[in-house]
Amino acid sequence: MASISYFPITADNDIAFDIPIMFNDALFSAASGTFLQISGSGGDGTNTIKNLCDQLKENIPSFQRFNMPTPSNFQTNIPSDNNLLEYFLNVYSNICKADPVLHYISGELTNVNGTSASIGTLQKTYDAYTAFFAQPQNSDTQTATRMTALRFAFSIDYLNRTGSYARKQVQIQIPLMPENASSDGVFYLDYAQPRFVQLYFYLYNSRPWVLDVMLIDGSASNFVDFKAWINGQQVIEPPAPSDDPYIGAGYPASTAPGGASGGSFNFSEDGITGVHTPGLNLLNTGLITAWRPSKSILAQLAGWLWVTTPGQIVQQLFGNPINAIIGLNIVPVSPPVDGGTNTIKFGVDDSGVACPKITSQHVTVDCGTLTIDPKYGSYMDFAPQTSAELFLPYVGGLPLDVNDVIGKTIGVKYQVDVLSGACVAYVFIDGVLHYQKAGGCAATAPITGSQMPNVVSGVLSIVGSVAGAVASAGASGASTAAKVASGIATGTSVAESAANMMKQSISYAGTISGWAGLLGAQKPYLILSLPHAAIPGGQNTLMGYPAWVSGRVGDFTGYTECTVDRVTATRATDKEVEEIKSLLEGGVIL
């Protein structure tokens, strides 16, 4: 089994080296001193490198972030004067946020079997440290290329507690000794499958040491041309910070203009689309009947109700049909009716007035839809810059979330109860119910009703008056008797007196309500308050527009404000790096 192990080499100074270098946990297995177990290998060992790469990809998430160039590309781009090049080890260092001070690494990759000495010098590319591993190329006989291990060593220069620079070295050895290697126990490179070997080292200082910059320039050597190609191939991304609450929670990183959204949140709505019609209906129960009379029908009905003949008065004294009226409303809807052949009955009394009878207690009113397009196509179209309120007849104002208005289709429907006048306005956004609000749409007409005790007392008073009048007439002579006789003969004056007394006892059974609704607008309307945006020409080129996307600085052009975690400029001093960051924050033109 091949394995990768690491161990610090003895420090070349007297400062205690407490291994301030901690590798990313992902690189470690439970075994002490081993941070990645590489298992499995080709029978003859020729695929070990390939397997190692594959398993690195499987075991190190960040390893997968790199695109492996195809062998053909790799071969094609090998400079002609570097025909020894076969592999390189790309080491990516990342300084954890706790210690943002730059570290500089140098080192070399060494074939430890002694057949070749230094096989490459660490070259710092943009964000990575790249080492080239050169092997004598002999594609005809693999036996000419043999090795037992790769050893990768590097050093870290830092400013120690005493204020002087110190250098620490770390060496990583990668044995290439598969258990099932060939009889000579050596590893054979597989020329047919050249691969990148990339390792990520997450370096941080576990102690509050002051790590300062120590510039170590790597020489370009003879790989300078190839380095340019590598730089063109690499897309160096710092690993996503583990403490980002969104990363790992299903929210992908924003990598494109316009951002991205995601997560496991269920955006599928339940889709409430209709208005509710109660299942029970008071009509047609025999207890209540609702009619939809016209004005002329009401006039006929009034003529029947307000009787003037004494016989009818006496008949209605103890059974006035007006008392059977529950209500007379004006509603802004047309309740469905039958053929209009039935006559209105008050209890057992049939008025003989034919009228359309309402067949359904509930009426639905569809007010249609309204589509509001964005004006600016920017955040100016939304809150708090823009606000919206819906006016609903018989209900009132209803503030809307602007997100439910801009670019959406608003629909309004009413469900009206014609008996009570109660109504509910339903507001649909793109066909889905979002709001509902109750109101009243019946204007209740005042209907006179008689209060039975007063009616009775009025009748007794009338009777008393008539008796008194008769007695008085007898006592006062013929003229008076004649008046009474005349009165009795006509009966009208007594009846009028009774009617007048009954009018005095009349009370209003209903109250005037809902009339204001009839006076208001009868169609819903939307009030939209939009800002009057000031948009100077060329604002994007002068100060840009909000982007909030990640990428390489070189991917953008024009005015750009950005934050970089580090600028891997090997020559730059700390002061220069800080100035670069500051300028990028303030805005530069790319």
Say which residues have a Cβ less than 8 Å from residue 270's Cβ, sequence separation at least 6: none
Q: Which of 293, 295, 423 is nearest to 358 (CA)?
A: 293
Q: Does 550 bind other proteins (CB under 8 A)?
A: yes
Interaction of residue 255 with other proteins, rule CB under 8 A: no
Among 24, 289, 320, 450, binds other proteins (CB under 8 A): 289
Interacting residues with other proteins between 168 and 197 (CB under 8 A):
none
| Assigned token pair, 500 | 């007048």
Distance (Å, rounded) from C-alpha 122 to C-alpha 157? 15
Single-letter amino acid code for the residue at 40: G
107 versus 411: smaller Cβ distance to other proteins: 411
3-state secondary structure of 180: coil
Q: What residues contact residue 482 under an 8 Å CB cut-off, 6+ apart? A: none
For helices 478-490 and 452-476, what crossing angle results, to 10°? 150
**CA dist list (Å): 210 to 213, 466, 579:** 10, 121, 20
Looking at residue 241, the DSSP 8-state letter turns out to be P
The DSSP secondary structure of 33-63, one letter per residue, reads: TEEEE-----TTSTTHHHHHHHHHHHH-GGG
CB 514 within 8 A of CB 421: yes
Measured from the CB of residue 333, what is the shortest distance to other proteins in angstroms?
7
- In whole angstroms, what is the distance from residue 265 CA to residue 431 CA? 21
The verdict on 72 binding other proteins (CB under 8 A) reads no
Tell me how far, at minimum, the Cβ of 468 lies from other proteins, in Å: 38
Sequence letter at residue 344: I
Name which of residues 27 to 46 contact other proteins (CB under 8 A). none
Near other proteins by CB under 8 A: residue from 56, 419, 433, 502: 419
User: Which of 91, 412, 433, 495 touches other proteins by CB under 8 A?
Assistant: 412
Instruction: Kindly identify the residues of this chain, within the stretch 503-532, that bind other proteins according to CB under 8 A.
Output: 518, 521-532
Stretch binding other proteins (CB under 8 A), from 42-50, 140-148, 194-202, 289-297: 289-297
Q: Kindly identify the residues of this chain, within the stretch 206-225, that bind other proteins according to CB under 8 A.
A: none
- 211 CB-side CA count, 13 A: 24
Toward other proteins, which CB reaches closer, 189 or 358? 358
Please state the closest distance from residue 517 (CB atom) to other proteins, in A. 9
Residue among 31 and 543 whose Cβ is closer to other proteins: 543
Answer yes or no whether residue 341 interacts with other proteins by CB under 8 A: no
Q: Is 251 in the site for other proteins (CB under 8 A)?
A: no
Stretch that binds other proteins, among 32-40, 64-72, 360-368, 488-496 (CB under 8 A): 360-368
DSSP character for 499? H
Binding flags for other proteins, 115-144, as an x/- string (CB under 8 A)? -----------xx-----------------
> Residue 589 interacts with other proteins (CB under 8 A)?
yes
CB of 526 to other proteins, least distance (A): 5
Say whether residue 261 binds other proteins (CB under 8 A).
no
Residue reference for tokens 């110190």: 166
- Beta-carbon-side half-sphere exposure of residue 135 (alpha carbons within 13 Å): 25
Contact 437, 424 (CB under 8 A): yes
Q: How far apart are the C-alpha atoms of 37 and 57, rounded to whole Å?
A: 13
Q: Judged by CB under 8 A, how many residues of this single chain contact other proteins?
A: 124
Which CB, 167 or 375, lies closer to other proteins?
375
- Identified binder of other proteins from the candidate list 202, 346, 428, 435, rule CB under 8 A: 346
Interface with other proteins by CB under 8 A: which range of 71-79, 206-214, 264-272, 361-369?
A: 361-369
User: Based on CB atoms, which residue is closest to other proteins, 108 or 349?
Assistant: 349
Among 225, 237, 401, 430, contact with other proteins (rule: CB under 8 A): 237
Strand partners, 411: 369, 428
